[in-house]
Structure 1
Amino acid sequence: MNSTYIKTIVVAVTTLLVVSCSGDKKKGIDYNQFKTEIQLTPDQTKSFDEITKKYQDLQEQNFQAAKAQGGNMDRVALGIKNEELRAQQSLEMAKVLDGPQMEKFNKFVDENSRKRPRYDNALLERIKTEAQLSEDEFKVVNAANDAFEKGFNDAHDVYHGNNDLAKEYWEKFDAQRKAAIKNTLTPEHYTKFEEIVKEVQFKGRK
C-alpha cells in the first residue's frame, strides 16, 4: 500500500462539514471539589493550590492564543497542549501528594477533564497488537482517527451547547472513520478491530 493511497483515504474521511470555530471558555476542573474529598496538610494545600493555579493559567493562555486565531482555531493542537499540561501537572503534584492521594488525584483529573475525541494511544496500541495489523493497515487506522478528530472539532460551533446534536455529529464521523478502516483492513483484522472498539461511544461534552 503506497502513501498516495493512504492520503486518498485521509481525504475521503475528511470530506466533512467545515465551519468556523471562534471558541469560548470552558468551565474547567473544580479542584476545590477534589480538596473536599481528601485530607491535605496546610503545606500540601498551599502547594496544591499553587500548582493547580499555575496549570489553569497556562491552559487559559493556550486557549486565548488559540482563540486569537479566529475562524482558524486549531482545537486539535489545543487538545494536545492540554494533554501535555495535565501530564506535567501530574509530575509536579506527585512531589506534593502521597501515593493514595496521587492515585485519587489522577482519577479525578481523568474523570473531569475534556478528552480529545479520538482513539487514545493505549487503544491504538491494542488495535495494532491484538488485531495484528500490518504497518500499512495501522497507518490508515491512524489517518482515519486523526481525520475523525479534526472533523468533529471543526464542527464544534454547530453542535456547541447541544449534546444531542454533538452525538449526531460524533456518530456520523465515527461511521466515516470505520468505513475508511474497513476498506483497508482484511475482513479478519476488521472483525477484531470492531471487537476492540465496540465500547467506544460518544460521551457528553464537559
Structure 2
Amino acid sequence: MKKYLIILLAFFAFSCSEQKKGRGIDFEKVKSSLGLSADQLEKFDAINAEFDADRAAKIEALKASGKMSKAKYIKIVKPSYVAQEQKVKPILTATQFEVYHEYVKRYMPFQSDYSDELKQEVITELSLDEQQAKMYNAVNEAFVKAYRDAHDYYHGNGEAAAEYWQQFDNNRKEALQKVFTKEQYAQYLELIKKENYRGKNEKG
C-alpha cells in the first residue's frame, strides 16, 4: 500500500517556497444576502464584533510571542469561526443559516478545497473500506499541498489560480479512479457538485 500511495502522491509533485498568508472572513459581504431584520442585524453585528476583537487580540499576542506561524494562526481562527457560527445560528432562520454556513465554508482561511464535511460525506456515502478511505485522504492531502505549494505561480492572479486548481484536480480525479470502483467514482462526481470550486476565491 505504501508503494501505491507514493505513486498517487506523484501526481501532485510541485515545489514552491512561499507560504500563503491568511485572510479573514468579511461578514459584511454576506449581510445583504441574509435579509436580516433590525433585531437580527443588531445581534449579528454584536456577535461579529465580539469574535473579531477576540481573534485580533489572540493573533496580536501570538505575534508578540515571536512564535507566529501558519499552523498556529489556523489554530486560532478556524475554531473561532466555528464558535462564531454556532453563536450566530440561534438568531437566524434555517434558510438564513444555510446561506451563512455556505459563506463561512467558502471563505474559511486556508480553505481552498472541498470542505471537510463533504470529504467525510464521500467516505460515508461511497461506503469506502479502510484502505480506500486512507488512500482517498492521502490523495486529497496531496492535492491541497500541491495547490498551495504552487502559490508563487498564481499569486494575485485569479485566472491562473483557477487553471492550477483545475490541473491538480484533474490529477486527483485520475488518482481516485484507481482507488474507487466505477460506481463509486460516478457517485463521487455527483457529490462534489454540491460545493462550488474554491480556488476561484484565491486572490494570491
Taking structure 2 as the reference length, the TM-score comes to 0.70
- Deviation track 1:87-114 (CA, whole Å, cap 9, x = no partner) reads 211222345x2x52x6425523533651
Could you tell me which residue of structure 1 aligns to residue 173 of structure 2? 178
Deviation at 1:81, TM superposition (A): 5.3
**Counterpart selection for 2:38 from 27, 30, 40:** 40
Whether contact under 8 Å (2:158, 2:201) holds in the other structure is yes
Question: 3-state SS of the aligned residue for 1:118?
Answer: coil
Whether contact under 8 Å (1:118, 1:149) holds in the other structure is yes
Instruction: Letter of the 1:150 partner, please give it.
Output: K
Could you tell me which residue of structure 1 aligns to residue 51 of structure 2? 55
Q: State the identity %.
A: 22
Deviation at 1:83, TM superposition (A): 3.9
**Counterpart selection for 1:114 from 107, 132, 136:** 107
Question: 3-state SS of the aligned residue for 1:132?
Answer: coil
Whether contact under 8 Å (1:119, 1:145) holds in the other structure is no
Higher helix share: 2
Could you tell me which residue of structure 2 aligns to residue 132 of structure 1? 127
- Deviation track 1:25-53 (CA, whole Å, cap 9, x = no partner) reads 557221694599322339x72x4333212
Structure-2 separation of matches of 1:128 and 1:200 = 16
Instruction: Letter of the 2:53 partner, please give it.
Output: D
Question: 3-state SS of the aligned residue for 1:182?
Answer: helix
Instruction: Letter of the 2:201 partner, please give it.
Output: R
Whether contact under 8 Å (1:31, 1:52) holds in the other structure is no
Deviation at 1:198, TM superposition (A): 5.3
TM-aligned CA distance change 1:30 to 1:163, over 3 Å: same
Structure-2 separation of matches of 1:187 and 1:18 = 34
Instruction: Letter of the 1:177 partner, please give it.
Output: R
Whether contact under 8 Å (2:132, 2:180) holds in the other structure is yes
Instruction: Letter of the 1:192 partner, please give it.
Output: Q
Could you tell me which residue of structure 2 aligns to residue 163 of structure 1? 158
TM-aligned CA distance change 1:200 to 1:91, over 3 Å: closer
Number of matched residues? Answer: 195
TM-aligned CA distance change 1:173 to 1:111, over 3 Å: same
Instruction: Letter of the 1:108 partner, please give it.
Output: Y
Structure-1 separation of matches of 2:119 and 2:165 = 18
TM-aligned CA distance change 1:127 to 1:9, over 3 Å: farther
Note the residue ranges of structure 1 that are not aligned, 5 or more in a row.
none
Structure-1 separation of matches of 2:29 and 2:190 = 36
Whether contact under 8 Å (1:59, 1:85) holds in the other structure is yes
Deviation at 1:171, TM superposition (A): 0.7
Question: 3-state SS of the aligned residue for 2:13?
Answer: coil
Note the residue ranges of structure 2 that are not aligned, 5 or more in a row.
none
Structure-2 separation of matches of 1:82 and 1:10 = 31
Taking structure 1 as the reference length, the TM-score comes to 0.70
Deviation at 1:189, TM superposition (A): 3.0
Could you tell me which residue of structure 2 aligns to residue 149 of structure 1? 144
Structure-1 separation of matches of 2:84 and 2:54 = 11
